[in-house]
Amino acid sequence: MRLPSKISPLQYSRASRATISLGKQAWIQVSDTFNNALCINRHPTTRRNPNMASSDTESGGQRPMLASQRKDTPSEATRTQGKAGYFPLGYKEGFSQWWAGLSPAVTEHRVLSFIPHLQKPPTHTQTGSAPASTNASTQDITKSEDRKAEPVTTSSINDPYGPRKWNSDLVELAGKSRFLNEFSVERIGEHVDNNLVMIHGYGAGLGFFYRNFESLSRLPGWKLYALDMLGMGRSSRPPFKIHAKDRQGKIEEAESWFIDALEEWRIKKGIDRFTLLGHSMGGYMAVAYALKYPGHLNKLILASPVGIPEDPYAVNADMPEPEDSTMVNEFTQDQGNSANGTNPDISASAKTGDNNNFLNAKAKRDAANNSGKPPKKPLPKWLTTLWDANISPFSFVRWSGPLGPRLVSGWTSRRFSHLPADESQALHDYSYSLFRQRGSGEYALAYILAPGAFARSPLIRRIQGVGRQWISEPHSAPTPDDTSSAPTGLSRVRETGIPVVLMYGENDWMDKDGGRAAAEKIEAEKRKALATATDEEKARENGDAKVVIIRKAGHHVYLDGADHFNSVMDEEMRDVEVRDKRLGFMKK
C-alpha cells in the first residue's frame, strides 16, 4: 500500500527510520543476512554508478566485512558505514522510484533508445534511423488502445547499414491473457531469407539485448526478432499452474508452458525455419524447444545456458537439495571486474570461435581442470527452503514496497557496473519495473531447477537428441527420440543434425565443462547416426557442436563482451547462409 500523497519523498526519507517497520536498523539486519549468506566481498576500487549513490553515506566503496571479521570492528559506526555498498541506492531515491511506478513499457522504451541509428519513439512504433524529433510524442504508450495504433515509419538518413525499421508489438496467442512481447528489426526493401530469434534469461526481458540489435541486423536477408518469454518481461502474465502429479510430469509441463508459446508464435508469424539464440534459462528452453518441435531450426546458439551439467542432489528426489553453487556469483560478481579484466587461466586460443570445437574440447577441459573454477559458495538453509516452497526471488521485491528499488540496486549496481552511467540507470529502472510485476512464469523455476541452478532434468541427458528427432506431429514432451526405430504409422523422416554453438564468458560462473561435455555428446550422437545413415542422409548431414569463449565477459556474455559476442554471432549467421545454400533451404 502506498503512503498518502501528502507525504513528500523528503519527509518519507526523514521519517522512515522511525515510522516504517523496515527502517534503517532493520534494513541493516536484512543486509547482514543477505550478504552473510551470499559471502559478498565488494572490491574497494569498484566503480559505482553516481546515479545510485546512497544519500545516507559517502563510503559505499569501502569493503564490507564478513561475519568472521566483525569481532575486530572498532565501533558500530564503522560497522554501519559500509552497508550502503550492499544496496547503493539511497532511501529517498528508492522511494522516488517506487512512487513514480514507471511501467515496463516506459522503461523498455528508454533502454531501446540507446540502440544506434534508432530514433526515440514510443515503444509501440517502428522507425528507421532519422534523427530524433524535437517534438514530444503525443502517444501514451501506457494505454492499451495505443498498443493497437498503426506503426509509424520514418525515413532512413544516417544509417550506414540501412535502411532498417524497428517494430515493437504484442503478439496475441490463443487462450485468455496470453500474448508475447516482440521486438523486431527488418531491412527495408529486402527479401527475408533467414530469421534470428532471441530469448532472454530468467526474470529478464528483451531489452537486455539492446547492445546487440543493431549489429545483428546488418546482414542482408536477415530479420531479427527478440521475444519476452510468456510470464516474463512485458509479455502477458497468466497464472502459472502445474497439474501433473509426478516429478517428471511437472518438469515437462513447466517446460512446455514456455516452449508451446514459442511454437504458437512461430506458426502465427508464418516462419518455417529460424536460428534460435537463448541466454541462460532461455538457452535451456531453446534446447527443450528443439526436442519437442523438431525440423524448424537452422542453428541453435546457447549463450551461457543453465541446466546442462548433472548434479545428483538435483535429479534425485530422495536426496537433500544441493548445499553449494556457483550461482551465487550472479549476485556477488562485479561486472566491472569481469568486463575490464581477463582470466589468466584461459589461453588466448580458447577465446576464439575457430579453436573451440569438439576436436580440442578434451584439451580445454583438461586445462580447465587444472585452473581455478568459479568458486562454489554455500547455500543458506532459508534459501533452499524458500526455493522448494516456490517463493520467487522477485516476491521480495514486491513485498518490500518502497524499499524495492534499493533491494534491486544490490544486483543492478554490480551487474551493470561496467556500463556508462545513463545506460546503467536505464537498465536499473527497467529491471525494477519488470521485477515488481505480478508473478507468473517465474514460478516455473523451482520445477525446472534445484537450488543452485542445477537442472532437475539435466540437458546433458537429452541434448544428444537435438537435430536427431523424428519429424512428425509435435512430440508430447521435450525428450530425445529412440535412435533405433521410427514412430509407429509415421514416415521415417528424421533430422540430419543441426549446428549447436555453446557460448560462455571468460569469467562466467556457469560450468563450461558442462558445455564441453554437451558438445562431445552431440558429436558422439553424430558418429552413431552416420554409422547407419543412407547416402542421402549422409549428404544432408548438418550437425556439429563447439564451445566458444567470449572475452572479458561473465554470465551475461551478450552484454559484458558485446563486441566480441556480436562478432561471433555475425560469423555464425554467415555460416547459416552457407549451410542453407548447400542444403537447398534458401529460396531461389
Active site residues: 280, 508, 555
Q: Report the distance separating Cα 257 and Cα 232, nearest Å.
A: 12
Q: What are all long-range contacts of 169-176, with beta carbons under 8 Å and residues at least 24 apart?
A: 169/124, 170/124, 170/234, 170/235, 171/265, 171/268, 171/269, 173/230, 173/261, 173/264, 173/265, 173/268, 174/264, 175/238, 176/238
Contact 208, 234 (CB under 8 A): no
Of 133, 190, 188, 193, which is closest to residue 164 (Cα–Cα)? 188
CA distances in angstroms from 399 to 157, 391, 404, 499, listed in the order given: 47, 12, 8, 44
Contact 90, 98 (CB under 8 A): no
Per DSSP, the three-state class of 303 is strand
Distance of alpha carbon 284 from its chain centroid, rounded? 10
Q: Report the distance separating Cα 69 and Cα 56, nearest Å.
A: 23
The answer to whether the Cα torsion of 217, 550, 419, 10 is positive or negative is positive
Q: How would DSSP label each residue in 387-405?
A: HHTT--HHHHHHHTGGGHH
Q: Is the peptide bond before 163 cis (omega within 30 degrees of 0)?
A: yes
Contact 492, 537 (CB under 8 A): no
Of 263, 52, 193, 303, which is closest to residue 576 (Cα–Cα)? 193
Q: Report the distance separating Cα 52 and Cα 428, nearest Å.
A: 9
Q: Look-up: residue for cell 510485476?
A: 437
Of 234, 219, 229, 228, which is closest to residue 256 (Cα–Cα)? 229
Q: Look-up: residue for cell 532471441?
A: 198
Q: Report the distance separating Cα 411 and Cα 426, nearest Å.
A: 14
Pairing of strands 449-450, 454-455: antiparallel
Report the alpha-carbon angle 235-237-240, nearest 5. 135
DSSP element (H, E) containing 456 = none
Would you tell me how many other CB atoms lie within 10 Å of the CB of residue 81?
A: 17
Q: Report the distance separating Cα 450 and Cα 119, nearest Å.
A: 43
Helices 421-435/404-415 angle, 10° precision: 130
Report the alpha-carbon angle 314-248-440, nearest 5. 85
